[in-house]
Structure 1
Amino acid sequence: MLIISPIPAFNDNYIWMFHAPDSQDVFVVDPGDARPVEEVLSRHGFNLAGILITHHHFDHTGGISELTRNRNIPVYGPDNRNINGITHTLRDNDTVKLSNCQFEIMATPGHTLDHIAYFTDSGDDENPALFCGDTLFVGGCGRLFEGTAEQMYSSLSRLASLPDNTRIYCAHEYTQANLKFARAVEPNNQKLQEQAMQVAELCSENRPTVPSTLRTELDTNPFLRSDQPEVIQAASDRDPSSGANPVDVLRVIRAWKDNF
């Protein structure tokens, strides 16, 4: 079991911190900025035991150098030599034990080519936990900066196969904007309408909308629903050439979201 908490950074990033309930040794995921991490460590008397990186974008890696300057700690991350500071390179299907929990490494290209995710079946309150960076968001998915729609569809399909109660710890607070788009794609999705109201309440109280659960995402996230009739129809209305192939549907709605 892990205790997992968000450290807000920049305008909308989440640096996720986790540790065992009986330990002050913590790990952080995607520390784009060292300052808020150092503040939390100091405030709670935590000891930084390691860093996990999902991909090379600077808002996920920018704090590595400062956080490791006076600490001899492991930095886990993808096989990308352009990320300065990685000490332990991880590849698809690798496993690593952190805070007494076994993590499975999943290659999830699409947003970037080097993107990986970290999955454990012993997360917060014994629910499985997925640290998925910018591949899967609450109500959305990452832009296709380097990868293809085929790669993103494959990555999302793999994540969709995880247990329904998996908690989704993504790296950005994009939920309201994502759900606004999702409702344009599926205006008749009742579960989506209910989620949008719950998220609006959380945002009005300045509370995080993350994590979500995989079950919620399967019911409401259009990028995990590119094989559903209403999503297929919405893509066809947008681009009549899209057809019913879920990869083409995802490609169309991702391009639509880019300009929404």
Structure 2
Amino acid sequence: MEVILVPAFADNYIYVLRDAASGKVGVVDPGDASPVQAELERRGWTLTHIFLTHHHNDHIGGVAELKARHRATVIGARADAHRIPDLDVALGDGDRTVFGEQTARVIAVPGHTSGHIAFWFEAAETLFSGDTLFSLGCGRLFEGTPAQMWESLQALRSLTDSTRIYCGHEYTQSNGRFALTVDPDNSALQQRMEEVAALRERNQPTIPTTIGLERRTNPFLRADDPGVQSAIGLSGAPAVEVFTELRHRKDHFRG
């Protein structure tokens, strides 16, 4: 499955997908129709599927125009059916949806929003995590609780290490600056930040990342790690308490 990054707004990523075997073309979280349509025209592709992780406008703002233009099928969360216009296929946790020769499993990941879902294409080892799991970070808790988000992140970190993560925003460098404040002795994190700095200097994306890399370097996946717990003065505390403190610190971080 081919995945093409389409930048939008200040730091969003929209993803155009193509299943080579069938020729089906999809898009994930098209907050803006214009750059998606430009990419489709450049490649001579017709859109067939629209995948939505959550209801925020920077992820769904282009849906109506793209659906009207291509008659594409809109796929999203059953829990958000009342907040996603033009929804054709409503899915919940554990449901599967077919995209050409590919099949995606839906994973419910509430926290950033109450109805947030992720799409995991198991055979392609590809995850579209929206604003739940970021490279070196996680989404703000606008509608969910820390316990919900921690459970959601545990579900995602249990996927295969080689799973590629395509998230909703280019936040890696700022997330990494925070991560170093709560995980300062992590040599893998230090090395990764050097690589991230080099990529951003060339204005290149830091996405995709992988589950394996995030498990080693993302503090929000490591709330049950003794090193992270010790660094923030919560050794032996329940993981959800540690996660809550990490999220609180990140919300007020100005580095």
Instruction: Quickly name the TM-score band, shorter chain normalised.
Output: over 0.9
CA contact (8 A) 1:24 1:47 kept: no
1:214 aligns with 2:211: yes
SS across alignment from 1:143: coil
Alpha-carbon distance in structure 1 between the residues aligned to 2:222 and 2:172: 17
Number of the residue aligned with 1:48:
47
CA deviation string 1:82-124 (max 9, x = no partner):
111111001110001103111100000011000000001222x
Query: By how many angstroms is 1:233 displaced?
Result: 2.0
Number of the residue aligned with 1:147: 144
- The alpha-carbon deviation at position 24 of structure 1 amounts to 4.5
1:228 aligned partner: 225
Matches within 5 A, 1:128-167: 128-167=125-164
* Change in 2 beyond 3 A, CA 1:185/1:137: same
Q: Distance in 1 between matches of 2:116 and 2:155?
A: 13
Question: How much does 1:186 deviate?
Answer: 0.7
CA contact (8 A) 1:134 1:170 kept: yes
What does the per-residue CA deviation read over 1:112-166, in whole Å, with 9 as the maximum and x for residues that have no partner?
A: 000000001222xxxx010010000000000011100100010000111111111
Whether contact under 8 Å (1:168, 1:210) holds in the other structure is yes
Instruction: Find 1:170's aligned residue among 167, 172, 178.
Output: 167
User: What is the aligned length?
Assistant: 251
- Structure 1 gap ranges (5+): none
2:247 is aligned, of 246, 254, 258, to 254
Name the residue aligned to 1:58: 57
- How far apart in 2 are the matches of 1:210 and 1:122? 20
Q: CA deviation at 1:22?
A: 4.8
* Alignment-mate amino acid for residue 246 of structure 1: A
Corresponding residue number in structure 2 for 1:111: 112
Answer yes or no: is the 8 Å Cα contact 1:173–1:208 preserved in 2.
yes
Which residue is equivalent to 2:11? 12
Q: Tell me the residue number matched to 2:76.
A: 77
**SS of match in other structure, 1:117:** strand
Q: Which residue of 2 aligns with 1:92?
A: 93
TM-superposed CA distance for 1:25, in Å, is 3.3
* TM-score, normalising length: structure 2: 0.95
d(CA) in 2 for partners of 1:229, 1:82: 40
Equivalent pair of 2:226/2:236 in contact (CA under 8 Å): no
Q: Give the Cα–Cα distance (whole angstroms) in 1 for the partners of residues 113 and 231 of structure 2.
A: 26
**Is contact 1:75–1:88 with CA below 8 Å preserved after alignment?**
yes
Root mean square deviation, CA, Å:
1.3
> Contact 1:243–1:249 (CA<8 Å) still a contact in 2?
no
The separation in 2 between residues aligned to 1:63 and 1:234, in whole angstroms, is 43
User: Which residue pairs with 1:190 in the alignment?
Assistant: 187
Cα offset, 1:243, TM superposition: 5.8
Deviations, residues 54-81 of structure 1 (Å, cap 9, x unaligned): 0000000000111112332210001221
CA–CA separation in structure 2 for the residues paired with 1:111 and 1:19:
28
Distance in 1, Cα, partners of 2:195 & 2:14: 23
SS state of the match for residue 51, structure 1? strand
- Residue 248 of structure 2 aligns to a residue whose secondary structure is helix
3-state SS of paired residue (1:70): helix
Q: Output the CA distance in 2 between the equivalents of 1:78 and 1:217.
A: 25
